[in-house]
Amino acid sequence: MACVLEAPLRMSVLSEVTASSRHYVDRLFDLDPQKVLQGVMLLYLLQQETSSAELRTECAVVLGSLAMGTENNVKSLLDCHIIPALLQGLLSPDLKFIEACLRCLRTIFISPVTPEDLLYTDATVISHLMALLSRSRYTQEYICQIFSHCCKLQHWHSCGFKSLPQPLLCANGPDHQTILFNHGAVQNIAHLLVSTSYKVRMQALKCFSVLAFENPQVSVTLVNVSVDGELLPQIFVKMLQRDKPIEMQLTSAKCLTSMCRAGAIRTDDSCIVLKTLPCLVRMCSKERLLEERVEGAETLAYLIETDVELQRIASITDHLIVMLADYFKYPSSVSAITDIKRLDHDLKHAHELRQAAFKLYASLGANDEDIRKKIIETENMMDRIVNGLSESSIKVRLAAVRCLHSLSRSVQQLRTSFQDHAVWKPLMKVLQNAPNEILVVASSTLCNLLLEFSPSKEPILESGAIELLCSLTQSENLALRVNGIWALMNMAFQAEQKIKSDILRGLSTEQLFQLLSDSDVNVLMKTLGLLRNLLSTRPHIDHIMSTHGKQIMQAVTLILEGEHNIEVKEQTLCILANIADGTTAKELIMTNDDILQKIKYYMSHSNAKLQLAAMFCISNLIWNEEEGSQERQDKLRDMGIVDILHKLSQSSDPNLCDKAKTALQQYLA
């Protein structure tokens, strides 16, 4: 888009008019290409060193006012290369001009259409901004605000509570946090926390909240920094006090939360248990503004997400579980909001309350069965989750699925509430057409609903889940591949032969081999787990091996020969033990000398788990109550298996010793 700013007024009155009239600000941008020249004049005058300091300052003020208009205004300014021009202006000796440039930069960078990376294109910019921090309280306020808006993580973090991925930065360069940290951001900004200016203190606090987020290096540094003899965590705790502005309390709580999650502060530290957590619970009260309730709940969800004790403490603090139910009732018919503009705003953003409540319920119910029970017994909770799964907002749907996933870890609830509300139906609908971030959590939930004690397992099978799950195993997304094969593994456990055959048919031999050669060990382990569940009960073992025996034996050979960890090889040997338990299937082992030599090798392995798994194979092969046992015993004796069994019967490991003696008895019977 061309830069289309119009400057029809005298420069001396421009800032007053543009700052006070949004209509005029937006009118300054015109799509008429002939007016481009008038717009460029502002930037031209700004960059002319022959222009007076007053004129250049006025230009920066006007441009800042323009940036307060629509997003199109900001896009046009960016197209005019306003950022390099303003950064150049920071080299001026005139403080008023510098402040005006910084104020304009701040306004541009807080716009969602401005790429944060534009701040980092020149390596000298950050150093110069750090140097300008000491010039005035305005430079401090604006620079901290610029940093906090231009500090994004390079990686997609693992926390369950980021709704959508952040754009990746250049894979070859350091992320924003690292750049700012390496330029001394902590040391340069720390003393601003005790500034006499409230705005400076707040912007410094916000800067630390983004610097510390998921960053152990920054968080550990913050713990050990002191200002005027007081450590930063102590300063943050003081800012949590009830007499401080809500904005300050919330941001301080975010700082301490990030430091705790990064491992710099213990979860049982009094500043977390007695200060941060109660503060965040207070923010969930219906007396707070909508955005405060949302931020409070989401920050609390992140704080307690991985800690069982914090989850228990939060669940009994100020009736939090019941308090969160109010998030779904907003606005009530007796809403206390009398400001029509505020009511209109909140109606448009009420879905954010539901999203935050789902996130916090998910964290609260992540581990404790009693807490899950309290959540589900909360008024209309299951109905709210089911409704949340079909909301138009992708963030609400994701949060609702996370909440459902958390609650699905309860055996009791799977058997009762989940069945009463037929939760599997909306869940299957979500899985049909959803972005990957929702698919990952929804498929994880489906894994739980397919456990053998879940009443939902049968109707899910009847709804065509096998085809869906087999397609997930082909996804490029690792988490979806893991969940797809995991769900199939659960589905195959103690299943009928038809279901097992349908799974094998749906996967295809080619896809099965693809999964067994996957570079991710979780995919490999779950695939082996699926095979182990498929090859259970003799009729099923014999049937599957009669149709897929050659391919399965080939896969087993490849894994036992490959560079895999102990757990993978143990699982593979257990599959062989299951095959050896078949009536006709065991002949596929007895006629395969290569496999027999491998079993013999693992009987003498240094790892007891592998020895034990190999012994299960031998025991199933030589069991003398079965037809052909004498021939199998003779062949294995000729291979030296009996000699190894005698040695193992003297093992110091009681499991190995007992198993060897039991096997030897088959030869004596």
Confidence of residue 37 (pLDDT cuts 50, 70, 90): low
The per-residue pLDDT for range 222-240, each reduced to its tens digit, is 999 999 999 999 999 999 9
Q: What is the pLDDT of residue 38?
A: 53
Q: Which of 23-37, 119-133, 530-544 has the lowest mean pLDDT?
A: 23-37
pLDDT exceeds cutoff 50 at 7: no
Q: Quick one: which of 643, 641, 565 has its CA closest to 609?
A: 565
pLDDT exceeds cutoff 60 at 22: no
Longest dimension (CA), the chain: 111
Q: What is the pLDDT of residue 483?
A: 96
Q: What is the pLDDT of residue 525?
A: 96
- Helix, strand or coil, per DSSP, at residue 518: coil
CA torsion sign for 560, 564, 566, 569 is negative
Confidence of residue 340 (pLDDT cuts 50, 70, 90): confident
Q: What is the pLDDT of residue 337?
A: 54
CA torsion sign for 528, 529, 533, 536 is positive
CA distances (Å), 277 to each of 75, 295, 504, 625, in order? 41, 13, 50, 64
Residue 593 CB-density burial (10 A; 0-12 exposed, 13-18 middle, 19+ buried) = exposed
Q: What is the pLDDT of residue 332?
A: 59
d(CA 648, CA 615) in angstroms, rounded, equals: 10
Q: Which of 69-78, 240-249, 453-462 has the lowest mean pLDDT?
A: 69-78
Confidence of residue 5 (pLDDT cuts 50, 70, 90): very low
The per-residue pLDDT for range 41-51, each reduced to its tens digit, is 788 888 888 88
Q: What is the pLDDT of residue 147?
A: 96
DSSP 377-435: TSTTHHHHHHHHTT-S-HHHHHHHHHHHHHHTT-HHHHHTHHHHTTTHHHHHHHHHS--
Q: What is the pLDDT of residue 568?
A: 95
319 Cβ contact partners less than 8 Å away, ≥ 6 residues apart: none
Residue 333 CB-density burial (10 A; 0-12 exposed, 13-18 middle, 19+ buried) = exposed
Q: Higher model confidence: residue 363 or residue 43?
A: 363
DSSP 565-593: -HHHHHHHHHHHHHHHTSSSTTHHHHT-H
- Rounded mean pLDDT of 600-614? 94
pLDDT exceeds cutoff 70 at 516: yes
Share of the chain above pLDDT 70, in %: 89
Confidence of residue 30 (pLDDT cuts 50, 70, 90): low
The per-residue pLDDT for range 457-513, each reduced to its tens digit, is 999 988 889 999 999 999 999 999 999 999 999 999 999 999 999 999 999 888 988
- Helix, strand or coil, per DSSP, at residue 227: strand
Tokens read off for 14: 């421009």
d(CA 170, CA 274) in angstroms, rounded, equals: 41
DSSP 337-360: ---HHHHHHHHHHHHHHHHHHHHH
- Helix, strand or coil, per DSSP, at residue 474: coil
The per-residue pLDDT for range 144-171, each reduced to its tens digit, is 999 999 987 654 333 333 233 332 233 3
pLDDT exceeds cutoff 90 at 412: no
d(CA 485, CA 83) in angstroms, rounded, equals: 50
- Rounded mean pLDDT of 335-354? 76
